[in-house]
Structure 1
Amino acid sequence: MLLISQLKTLCSEIISAIPAIDGGFVVVIDEDNAMNKLANKPNTILVASAPSAQSMGQISSTRNNSVVIFWILTKKNTKDEIDQLEALQPLALQLQTYIHAQAEEGCNLFNFLEIDSLTIDPVYNEFGGFNGWSLMAVF
């Protein structure tokens, strides 16, 4: 299972690799926790769910895959939400590309990346007023 300290390091590396995410990152437990942490964040921010674990394999040979959801969000404003999604979509694709590249380079965190688990979805009014994209990864 991915440790929270490892997730924080990964998030720091992601925002270094994608400078347009200019609001930093937060790790959240659930929707209420996210709403509290995001209440006054005006910039584009990376949000990551605390990792959960999914057991894989047979009784005699098991491993835990981590499941993490990332969000790239910006506060809803008077712009059309489609315009906000359009502006953030390249960042979601950059995040997906970053994860692919890390897995291909042999990053230990992504040793067991399930490539078909990388799902990017638009989100509207998430966590009490943010638009953007979510990306789920199982690794």
Structure 2
Amino acid sequence: MIKISEFVKICNQIKDVSGVDCVKICAEEDQGMRKLQDATGTILVGVIPSIEFSGTEDAYIANSACLFFFLQKEREGQSSEKELEQYSQTQDCLMKFKEWIFEDGKSLCKIFLNLKISSVSIDPEYNVFGKYLGWSIKFIY
């Protein structure tokens, strides 16, 4: 299980790597909506990881599930072209992060130790946390 203080550090590292403007951390959607009120720019939302255990008491494996959002506030009444531009901007940040975590397995720095590549899922998001759009990435490590 990751300590909250360590998760905050990781989110700040992701901010530096991906080029987002700010970081918000939440446990669930209602809390995220409150934290994102009036947030501007490109935002990284880190959802506090959940953990599942498998095995027996004396031989178990812990798997943490991570979920991150790369978002911008939806601009009401904007054209489809402008909306796609927002998706493109948030996708650029997401792809920098994805490359970083995939490359991380090859380096000495092990942020997400034992990342299960087959568990990585990237999805476009619309109207998440009430009025934001962009991308999410989830994975197990």
Relative to the length of structure 1, the TM-score reads 0.90
Q: What is residue 99 of structure 1 aligned with on the other side?
A: 101
- Residue in structure 2 matching 1:50, options 48, 51, 57: 48
CA drift at 1:109: 3.6
Contact 2:124 2:136 in 1 (8 A): yes
In the alignment, which residue of structure 2 is the partner of 1:75?
73
Q: Provide the rounded CA distance (Å) in 1 between the counterparts of 2:109 and 2:61.
A: 17
Letter of the 1:13 counterpart = Q
Gaps of 5+ in 1: none
Structure 2 unmatched ranges of 5 or more: none
RMSD over aligned Cα atoms: 1.4
Distance 2:79 2:99 in 1: 27
User: Is the 1:46–1:70 Cα contact (8 Å) retained in structure 2?
Assistant: yes
Opposite residue 5 of structure 2, the aligned amino acid is: S
Equivalent residue in structure 2 for 1:114, among 113, 116, 119 = 116
Structure 1 position 25 matched with structure 2 position 17: no
Q: How many residues align?
A: 136
Task: Give the structure-2-normalised TM-score.
Answer: 0.89
State the Cα distance separating 1:79 from its structure 2 match.
4.3
Aligned to 1:104, the other structure's residue is in SS state: coil
Deviation digits for residues 33-87 of structure 1 (CA, Å, limit 9, x no counterpart): 000000110110100111100213x214212111110000000012433332122
The offset of 1:122, in angstroms, is 0.2
Contact 1:103/1:111 (CA < 8 Å) preserved in 2?
yes
Identity of paired residues, percent? 30
2:16 aligned residue: 16
Q: List 4+ stretches of structure 1 deviating above 6 A.
A: none
Q: Quick one: distance in 2 between partners of 1:63 and 1:38?
A: 34
